[in-house]
Amino acid sequence: MVDILDTVDRASLAAFDDIIDVRTPAEFALDHVPGAVNLPVLTDIERAEVGTIYVQDSRLKARRIGAAHVARNIAAHLEGALKDKPGSYAPLIYCWRGGMRSNALATVLSQVGWRVTVVGGGYKTWRRHVTAALYNAEPGFKVVLLDGYTGSAKTEILGRLNALGVQALDLEGLAGHRGSLFGALAGRPQPSQKLFETRLLARLDELDPARPVVVEAESSKIGERMVPPTVWKAMAGAPRIELGAPRAARARYLALAYGDIAADREALCATLAKLPGRHGAKRLAAWRGLARDGAFEALAESLAEHHYDPAYERSRRAESRPSLGVIEMDSLEPDAQDAAAAGVVRLMSAMGAAP
């Protein structure tokens, strides 16, 4: 007996011992239900092989070869990841559309004696849930933005706020990017847009909608990932708390925080070449010279002075979102960041946005 689950959300997923994604590793890597484990019934190579035979040769042959692959892979899972599961084991299984792949594993596991449930509609049912929550719904939470010049340790202070019990949403962490032209994390590609959204929804589900959420002031794109409309709408009208710090202190912080980028000097020079053309050849050449000489703090300070600070000042002049106040820091050392986080809490409380 195999049960069918038609609604996939945080509450329904919590009822199962495991969530098993039977799609290929490549499909799983692009996005998957939170907490799912990947027990593919076809590998990436096997799925491609079966698809090619299906189109170019014979449907019967494709099904026969596919069934043999599926049988071998299911046997391997029974002898591996599933070998110690108790008699009360109750997994939830899904594939792409809730079809042959999920039902193949579900049929075998139910014959073992386990209570098996399949997601009706498969991964696409989960994706519809994500889209409804992040694209079609009104924001169900209130945001306070953490704003400030580039290099004012906003992400670090978000983490400190979280440690103080304040609800904080780290969009850059979820998107795997630091949110600027130099924001890519060395050796770590960004998650797909769908996986970013899955991670974001999972984090939102953990939050108390009755309490405000502190979010770093971002553009609508973080690297190549778009902030979904529901979250962007919550951010668009949110009040701001601004962090201030001397440019020299911000340059020191940036030189350390972006050490992975600075380590590859040629890649850094290539990134500098992508800056908007208004800076002129002479200044770009000077920046490339600083990069090649390893003068990263001087480079960060010059970039802040001539590129990032003017851009921030232009956006601040056009800013219509209300301000809850400014927190000035003499430095960006850990104790100064702790004090800034405590100051954010005080401002939120004073303005009726108690964390």
Residues annotated as catalytic are: 95
**What sign results for the dihedral spanned by CA atoms 243, 249, 252, 256?**
negative
Cβ-based neighbours of 35, under 8 Å, separated by 6 or more:
13, 19
In whole angstroms, what is the distance from residue 105 CA to residue 116 CA?
9
Cβ burial 98-129 (10 Å sphere, 16+ → b, else e) = bebbbbbbbebbbeeebbbbbbbbbbbbbbeb
Structure tokens at 344: 């954010």
Give the strand pairing for 221-222 and 225-226.
antiparallel
**Residue-level length of the chain:** 355
**What sign results for the dihedral spanned by CA atoms 41, 43, 44, 48?**
negative
Q: Looking at this protein, which amino acid is placed at residue 6?
A: D
